[in-house]
Amino acid sequence: MNETMVTLVGNAATAVEFRETATGGMARFRFAVTPRRRDRETQLWTDGPTSFYTVWAWRALAANLAGSVAIGEPLVVHGRLKVREEERDGGRRTFVDVEAVAVGHDLSRGTAAFRRVARVEPA
């Protein structure tokens, strides 16, 4: 209840970092979203400032991200948004995380050959 779902359209800003854990695979990468707007006067498209997120994934999605996504590739990321604040090195740091539910290469930017992997239901 009250979870914040979000969909990001942008690009992988780092490679996917993958790790095996006791409860299965975990993947993590930075993600960049740059909105584009049409200038009202010139009618030209211009880039707005980029927002960065850390995307987290587990299990099958983590493994498939590690095997499919390279730095710079355009993606659609759908997941739960969380903002964490932590004390670090004597200062307060803010982290913006998305726990991914579904991720795909953005087909408005290229083509993809998909291969299904046998599905295991989350326990």
Binding site for a second copy (CB under 8 A): 1-10, 33-38, 40, 43, 45, 49, 51-53, 57, 60-61, 64-65, 67-70, 73-76, 78, 80-85, 91, 93-96, 100-117, 119, 121-122
Question: With respect to a second copy, which residue has the nearer C-beta, 20 or 117?
Answer: 117
Question: With respect to a second copy, which residue has the nearer C-beta, 21 or 43?
Answer: 43
Helical ranges in 2-79 per DSSP H: 59-68
DSSP character string of 80-104: EEEEEEEEETTEEEEEEEEEEEEEE
Q: How far is CA 13 from CA 54, 74, 107, in A?
A: 10, 10, 18
Amino acid of residue 113: A
Reference 62, options 31, 107, 111, 16; nearest CA is 16
Least gap, CB of 39 to a second copy (angstroms)? 12
Least gap, CB of 13 to a second copy (angstroms)? 12
Beta bridge partners of residue 10, listed in sequence order: 75
Least gap, CB of 66 to a second copy (angstroms)? 9
Least gap, CB of 23 to a second copy (angstroms)? 14
